[in-house]
Amino acid sequence: MIGEGGTLLLATRNRGKTKEFRDAFGKLGIEVKDLHEVEGIPDIDESGETFAANAFIKATTAANLVGLPVLADDSGLCVDALDGAPGVYSARYAGEGAGDAANNAKLLRELEKAGADFRSDGEFGLRLLSPARFTCSLVLYDPEDDSRLQAEGSVEGFILGEARGADGFGYDPLFWVPSHSRSMAELTVEEKNAISHRGQALRKLLALL
């Protein structure tokens, strides 16, 4: 399995994710590249029914193409009022190639259709539509010795009736973090990494390494 001085391919084209992982692995002396920096990796069909299954598909497919250790994550938002949706479809909730704005807009539309209205928070002037959680599964696969490490993390919160904050990515502006009384998009990178589903999974994975 990869060690200091090694190179790791991150199976994503999401620059926000790349920054988070590059910061963490850099402290171990491991160089992190993403799919913007390598050629020959087609879009990978995420046909799994769980986050862990999709992460494994992405990691093994990319690793066998490039011959490098590959770290893949599959993560998403599970909303109670929508019976766990968007779940594994979080990145393409509004359709293939949909951006963050389209996915967030669809989420709010679906919650409106469902009549979701969990409660109002008078202290912060918020409308909270539903309990929800971010979940992340990480799989690190090394084709050299066919070894695999896996870790998971999750963070609980609520879906806001309107977006707050300009940082983060994905559904962060709509995800209220009760412990910090801010949306995920209002947290600093350090604060987010300390509590986020991806941060939790990453720390568990680094401990395994």
Residue range 127-148, pLDDT digits in tens? 999 999 999 999 999 999 999 9
HSE-CB at 95 with a 13 A cutoff on CA atoms is 4
- Among all residues, which ones are annotated catalytic? 74
| Contacts of 102-108 spanning 24+ positions with Cβ under 8 A | 103/170, 103/171, 104/163, 104/171, 104/173, 104/174, 107/77, 107/79, 107/159, 107/171, 107/174, 108/161, 108/174
Taking the domain 7-207, which CATH number applies? 3.90.950.10
Calculate the alpha carbon distances from 92 to 62, 74, 146 in Å.
20, 12, 30
Alpha-carbon separation of residue 123 from 35, 58, 90, 181, 185 (angstroms): 44, 43, 30, 10, 19
Q: pLDDT tens digit string along 64-120?
A: 999 999 999 999 999 999 999 999 999 899 998 889 999 999 999 999 999 998 888
Residue 50 identity (one-letter amino acid): T
> Where is average pLDDT lowest: 31-35, 38-42, 110-114, 166-170?
38-42
If one compares 204 and 1, the residue with the highest pLDDT of the two is 204
Residue 75 labeled ligand binder: yes
Annotated ligand binding at 122? The verdict is: no
Q: Is 133 annotated as a binding residue?
A: no
